[in-house]
Amino acid sequence: MADEVSVLIVDDSALMRNLIGKMVEAAPGLVIADKAMNGRFALDKIPRVNPDVIVLDLEMPEMNGIEFLKERKKQGIGIPVIILSSIAAKGAAITMEALSLGASDFIQKPSGSISEDIHTVRDRLVELLLSYGGQYRKINGKKLISPSEAKAINPAAAETMGKGAVSIASILELNVTHAAAPATPPTPLRRPANTELIAIGISTGGPDALRVVFSKLDADLKVPIVVVQHMPAGFTNEFAKSLDRVCPLDVKEVEDGDPLIPGRILIAQGNRHLEVGRNKDAAPVARLSDAPLVSGHRPSADVLFASVALTFKNHALGVIMTGMGRDGAAQLGTIYKEGGLTLGQDEASAVVYGMPRVAYELGHVQEQVSLNQMARRICDIAKTNR
């Protein structure tokens, strides 16, 4: 169907192209645009097949993934790219280079370049393809297939895919419907005071979004920032380094006991919860834990926001941004109730209007802000004396 998200698959292995193609064909709402064995062939095919999203391997002959991304950037091609590569498991730095060159997100092949068990990442791949491809269609004024239409095309596949953590219909729903009117917001226990901590929760679409926000922050912002970005273990250190290169503030992966220093950004470690508290001298510090998953995640934005509300009360600013699901939505309301301030990314600029949508519908978002304006609002709020 013309309204489905079309996918260009780029991998030098014929087996991988075939296996990835079968996953795309089986997913309601997705269709194969074409396949290419390396970056050079992909560039040749893009003008003809006009895909909505690209799945890209990094290790390929003639033109590898990094070289493709450089040429894509040079040619001004805006089609989103999802990295699906075994190199992601070996070299976090290379993966972060791919993100810095414009790739939107990444998935590790589960068992090397030729992963016959690639089906184990099917749900995550489909989620990313529908999310980024759907947003690209919206931005370019293309119609997007509805959940009911997708199910009608392939009801058996829709039911099977829906058994995963995220259903196909739920992803499509985020791209074709608008948020409901918000519920009655909580009654704050106290009035907002000067901002002493900024906490951000973000997921799918986060690497690009944080790059945009952090590059626009004021160099004289004197408030600590803590961030939960859903990302696998082993990648957050390089992710923090990549953000540090574009941000006027210092950015680092958090370590247990790190002090919350004005003008420094701490990124949660993959697979560890991040909380804030105070040490024996009552100074604010970061704490890491291996407690069970919360809201389906570790690190969890809900865990971070709850600790921020408890420790900083009406001196906190909570920000919830693009992401699938509802992590952070409930506990953002606790920051609101304690007298803190809350922002949510708006629907138009979010790759996936899931987490901020749920927070908005719960009445926990005081103000919705576009991605391009988020840094400005954060800085203005943080610098206001109350």
Q: How many whole angstroms separate alpha carbon 220 and alpha carbon 25? A: 50
Q: By the 8 A CB rule, do 15 and 23 touch?
A: no
Annotation says 230 is catalytic: yes
Query: What pLDDT is recorded for position 86?
Result: 80
For residue range 311-350, list pLDDT tens digits in order. Answer: 999 999 999 999 999 999 999 999 999 999 999 999 999 9
Q: For 39-83, how does the pLDDT look when each residue is reduced to its tens digit (9 = 90+)?
A: 999 999 999 999 999 999 999 999 999 999 999 999 999 999 999
Pick the catalytic residue: 230, 273, 315, 364? Answer: 230
178 is catalytic: no
Contacts of 310 by beta carbon, 8 Å cutoff, 6+ apart:
338
Rounded percentage of the chain residues whose pLDDT exceeds 90: 80
Secondary structure class of 205 (helix, strand, coil):
coil
Count Cα atoms within 13 angstroms, Cβ side, for 148. Answer: 1
pLDDT band at 120 (very low <50, low <70, confident <90, very high): confident
Strands 250-253 and 81-85: unpaired
- Segment 108-131 mean pLDDT: 83
Q: Which CATH architecture has domain 5-176?
A: 3-Layer(aba) Sandwich (3.40)
Which pLDDT band, with edges at 50, 70 and 90, does 156 fall under? low
Architecture of domain 197-383 in this structure: 3-Layer(aba) Sandwich (3.40)
pLDDT at 9 over 50: yes
- Location of structure tokens 């259903």: 167
Instruction: Give the pairing type, strands 367-369 and 341-345.
Output: parallel
- Ranges of CATH 3.40.50.180 domains, the chain: 197-383
178: pLDDT confidence band, cut at 50, 70 and 90? confident
Residue 238 pLDDT: 93
List every span in the chain annotated with CATH 3.40.50.2300.
5-176
| pLDDT for the residue numbered 6 | 97
Catalytic residue among 85, 203, 242, 295: 203
**Structure pTM?**
0.91
Please identify which of the residues 86, 327, 346, 349 carries the catalytic annotation. 327
For residue 325 the two structure tokens come to 């699901």
Question: Which residues have C-beta within 8 Å of that of residue 280, sequence separation ≥ 6?
Answer: none
Catalytic (active site) residue 203: yes
| Lowest mean pLDDT segment, chosen from 148-162, 259-273, 276-290, 367-381 | 148-162
